[in-house]
């Protein structure tokens, strides 16, 4: 449903926050720089068409993706055909907020007829015979899919360096990681190569790259969005979510993809509110928890700490009451996660055996040797490392000590959040302990990379929603994000706080220097 806030009157009376970015003359517009909210209004009023908007986005990709490396597949012809169809629909007045909007999709979400690789040699030539449920829903809304975005192979990584094909660079500084694993999605949105994107988040893979690239990213509650057609990494943790230029844009995208799906037995039949109807009534009735354990965590960069402190003050100035919350088992979240996620992955990735789809070493005449050779050549080093770690943790004699123990710690972490949410409505924290670090820094040091997920992966273990919203820049111009986490199925609270923070913080409309 089209949110009433975006009536024609509203389009001519934008909040002051957006004034600086509202193009004044149609012919002078940089269409690719529009937000979804802006573009949607212009499309609906027939001031622009989806064909010219999509053309502008494809031109932008052509101009800057050589430097950034966000896209693995660009579907220019398909996108233009979808844009034409959207224009017909717009002409009929049959619109929803995403009709005609060019989006990018992380390359582990199945798109019928459009190559889906998971950034792995294993799936280099995989053409899905069906659409993921989120893709069917985007297509039904009339969105335009411009291409598929780079990631760490099978979503295993926090830097996008572990792609089997290319390294994506941070648009704010091309020598830095964009974060990961949805690094292509975050970089593409930051560099205006799509108006929004879908990613997936297993331990922070939407929120952390959003933070590093200065965009907004949402990990919904586990079960809120169907995983049907999402290539599985760790099934009890994976969740698809949006990355956008603004909080409102993410809410618009989540509206299109959320909801129960009988094809995913873990999708939850909860009522879905209209996320884009973000409450705009201040934060006077809101209690925000500040986790003591997080500020004590080792490795927190002072500039990130200072940016979060400023953000908390801003949230207080909007009327919210801040309290300390303990979350006593935070220190053990990374260790528990790096048992549980690789264990599930080792099981999920058993399906890549060179038989039904994907790569096969055809030189092998023996079945067992074909499996081994296929998997060793098809998977990259980080994926093999996690398969071995997970297989070890699940193997006879070690199961109780590793998987069993980690699953008990998971209960304690979940209980920590339940206790905290008895006295607060949301918890704010950093997203990542440092701004984006240099490419190559953790390539041979997996544990250091894993430890950088400290603030995000608890939300996956507990199944709660989280959002990353830009809250400042480091001295050398790298974006810093603020994380807001909430109760199960309380995404509206996250959107409310994030949207009002976004307006009040008034981060200047800086764009990456590309």
Closest of 193, 192, 225, 307 to residue 206, by C-alpha:
225
Q: Which member of 44, 50, 106, 496 is catalytic?
A: 106
Find the helix or strand (DSSP H, E) in which 429 lies. strand 426-430
Q: Give the shortest CB-415-to-another protein separation in angstroms.
A: 9
# of chain residues touching another protein (CB under 8 A) = 71
Residue ranges in 466-495 that form contacts with another protein under rule CB under 8 A? 488
- Cβ closest to another protein, residue 170 vs residue 374: 374
Under 8 Å between Cβ of 326 and 296: no
Q: Which member of 50, 136, 163, 205 is catalytic?
A: 205
Q: Give the shortest CB-364-to-another protein separation in angstroms.
A: 6
347 catalytic? Reply is: no
**Two tokens at 170?**
């941070």
Given candidates 127, 296, 306, 323, which one binds another protein under the rule CB under 8 A?
Answer: 127
- Cβ closest to another protein, residue 79 vs residue 114: 114
| Cα atoms in the 13 Å half-sphere on the side-chain side of 185 | 38
Given candidates 385, 441, 503, 511, which one binds another protein under the rule CB under 8 A?
Answer: 385
Instruction: Please state, in angstroms and rounded to a whole number, the distance separating the CA atoms of residues 104 and 198.
Output: 7
Question: How would you class 11 by CB atoms within 10 Å of its CB: exposed for 0-12, middle for 13-18, buried for 19 or more?
Answer: middle
Pairing of strands 102-106, 321-325: unpaired
| Cα atoms in the 13 Å half-sphere on the side-chain side of 493 | 24
461 binds another protein (CB under 8 A): yes
Question: How would you class 78 by CB atoms within 10 Å of its CB: exposed for 0-12, middle for 13-18, buried for 19 or more?
Answer: middle
205 catalytic? Reply is: yes
Given candidates 121, 310, 321, 332, which one binds another protein under the rule CB under 8 A?
Answer: 332
Under 8 Å between Cβ of 289 and 258: no
Under 8 Å between Cβ of 118 and 153: yes
233 binds another protein (CB under 8 A): no
User: Which range in 15-23, 44-52, 86-94, 398-406 contacts another protein by CB under 8 A?
Assistant: 398-406
User: Which range in 76-84, 389-397, 432-440, 503-511 contacts another protein by CB under 8 A?
Assistant: 389-397
373 catalytic? Reply is: no
Q: Give the shortest CB-255-to-another protein separation in angstroms.
A: 21
140 binds another protein (CB under 8 A): no
For residue 310, CA distances in Å to 7, 246, 298, 502 come to 34, 20, 20, 13
Given candidates 372, 441, 503, 511, which one binds another protein under the rule CB under 8 A?
Answer: 372
Given candidates 50, 133, 160, 221, which one binds another protein under the rule CB under 8 A?
Answer: 221
Residue ranges in 336-365 that form contacts with another protein under rule CB under 8 A? 336, 338-339, 346, 350, 353-360, 362, 364-365
- Residue numbers annotated as active site: 106, 181, 205
């Amino acid at each position: 449903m089209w949110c009433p806030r975006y009536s024609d009157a509203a389009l001519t009376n934008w909040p002051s926050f957006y004034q600086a970015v509202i193009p004044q003359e149609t012919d002078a517009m940089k269409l690719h720089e529009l937000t979804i909210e802006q573009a949607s209004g212009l499309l609906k009023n027939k001031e622009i068409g989806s064909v010219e908007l999509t053309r502008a986005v494809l031109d932008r990709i052509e101009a800057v993706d050589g430097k950034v490396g966000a896209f693995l597949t660009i579907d220019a012809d398909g996108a233009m055909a979808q844009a034409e169809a959207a224009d017909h629909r717009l002409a009929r007045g049959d619109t929803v907020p995403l009709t005609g909007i060019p989006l990018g999709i992380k390359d582990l979400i199945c798109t019928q007829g459009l190559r889906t690789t998971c950034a792995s040699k294993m799936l280099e030539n995989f053409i899905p015979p069906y659409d993921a449920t989120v893709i069917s829903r985007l297509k039904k809304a009339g969105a335009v899919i411009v291409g598929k975005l780079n990631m760490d192979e099978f979503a295993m990584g926090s830097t996008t360096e572990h792609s089997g094909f290319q390294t994506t660079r941070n648009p704010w500084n091309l020598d830095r990681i964009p974060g990961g694993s949805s690094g292509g999605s975050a970089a593409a949105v930051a560099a205006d190569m799509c108006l929004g994107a879908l990613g997936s988040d297993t331990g922070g893979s939407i929120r952390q790259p959003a933070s590093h690239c200065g965009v907004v990213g949402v990990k919904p509650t586990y079960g809120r969005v169907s995983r049907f057609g999402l290539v599985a990494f760790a099934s009890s943790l994976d969740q698809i979510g949006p990355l956008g230029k603004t909080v409102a844009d993410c809410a618009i995208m989540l509206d299109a993809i959320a909801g129960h799906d009988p094809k995913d037995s873990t999708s939850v039949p909860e009522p879905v509110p209209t996320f884009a109807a973000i409450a705009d009534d201040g934060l006077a009735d809101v209690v925000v928890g500040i986790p003591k354990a997080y500020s004590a965590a080792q490795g927190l960069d002072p500039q990130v700490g200072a940016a979060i402190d400023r953000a908390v003050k801003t949230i207080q100035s909007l009327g919210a009451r801040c309290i300390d919350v303990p979350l006593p088992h935070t220190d053990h979240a990374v260790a528990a996660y790096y048992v549980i996620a690789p264990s599930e992955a080792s099981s999920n990735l058993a399906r890549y055996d060179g038989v039904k789809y994907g790569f096969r070493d055809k030189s092998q005449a023996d079945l067992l040797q074909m499996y081994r050779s296929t998997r060793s050549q098809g998977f990259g080093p980080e994926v093999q490392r996690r398969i071995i770690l997970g297989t070890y943790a699940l193997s006879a004699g070690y199961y109780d000590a590793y998987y069993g123990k980690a699953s008990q710690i998971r209960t304690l972490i979940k209980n920590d959040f339940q206790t905290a949410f008895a006295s607060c409505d949301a918890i704010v924290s950093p997203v990542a302990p440092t701004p984006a670090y240099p490419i190559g820094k953790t390539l041979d040091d997996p544990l250091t990379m894993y430890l950088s997920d400290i603030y995000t992966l608890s939300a996956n273990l507990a199944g709660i929603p989280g959002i990353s919203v830009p809250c400042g820049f480091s001295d050398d111009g790298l974006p810093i994000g603020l994380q807001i986490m909430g109760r199960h199925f309380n995404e509206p609270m996250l959107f409310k706080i994030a949207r009002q923070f976004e307006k009040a913080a008034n981060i200047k409309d800086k764009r990456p220097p590309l």
